[in-house]
Amino acid sequence: MAQKASEMTDHEIKDLMRAIAKANGRPLTEERVEADFPAYKGYLLALERIDAFKFAQEDEPAFHFSLRPEGGASKGGTK
């Protein structure tokens, strides 16, 4: 079971930041971890609110967003 961001300590969130930054190949200095922390925590809390929504199995992301004049949203994919 994934841990909710709202239940994580600041220390745990900073550890997560260090781990992801390292995995991305762009490690953060401690100064940057401190500077970026409020923004990242905000994003995690936003994601937690999105996660409260129960997606149906058939829901697809709008990977490449486009619209058609007849009023239908695209199913995604490249043009």
Partner 1 sequence: MSLSRRDFFAGSIGALSVSKTLERDALARPAQALPAPPADLHYLTLRDAATRIRARQISPVELTNAILARIDRVEPKVHAFITLTREQALDAARTAEREIMAGRYRGPLHGIPVAVKDTHYTKGVKTTCASPVLADYVPSFDATVVTRLKNAGAVLLGKTNLPEFSSGSSGNGTNNPWNLEKPTGGSSAGNAAGLGAGMFFGASGGDTGASIRGPAALCGVVGLKPTYGRVSGYGVMKLSWSVDHVGPMTRTVEDNALLLNVLAGYDPEDWATAEVPVPDYTRALGRGVRGMRIGIPVRPLIEGFHPDELKAFEESLKVFQKLGARIIEVDFPPTLAVMGDAHNIIRICEAASYHEPFLAAKAELYGPSNVRRDVEAGALITAGQYLRAQKMRKIFVKQMLALFSGFDVMITPETVPAGEQTKARLSPHSPFNDTGFPGLAVPAGFSASPPGLPLSIQIVGKPFDEETVYAAGFAYESNTRWHLKRPAL
Least distance to partner 1, CB of residue 53, Å: 6
Q: Could you tell me the sign of the dihedral formed by the alpha carbons of 14, 16, 18, 20, in that order?
A: negative
Least distance to partner 1, CB of residue 38, Å: 8
Closer of 12 and 51 to partner 1 (Cβ): 51
Residues forming the site for partner 1 (CB under 8 A): 16-17, 20-21, 24, 26, 28, 32, 35-40, 42-43, 46-47, 49-53, 55, 59-69, 71-73, 76, 78-79
Least distance to partner 1, CB of residue 48, Å: 9
Q: Mapping DSSP to helix (H, G, I), strand (E, B) and coil, where does residue 78 land?
A: coil
The answer to whether 64 and 76 have CB atoms below 8 angstroms apart is yes
Stated length of the chain: 79
Closer of 1 and 69 to partner 1 (Cβ): 69
Q: Cα separation of 15 and 30, whole Å? A: 11
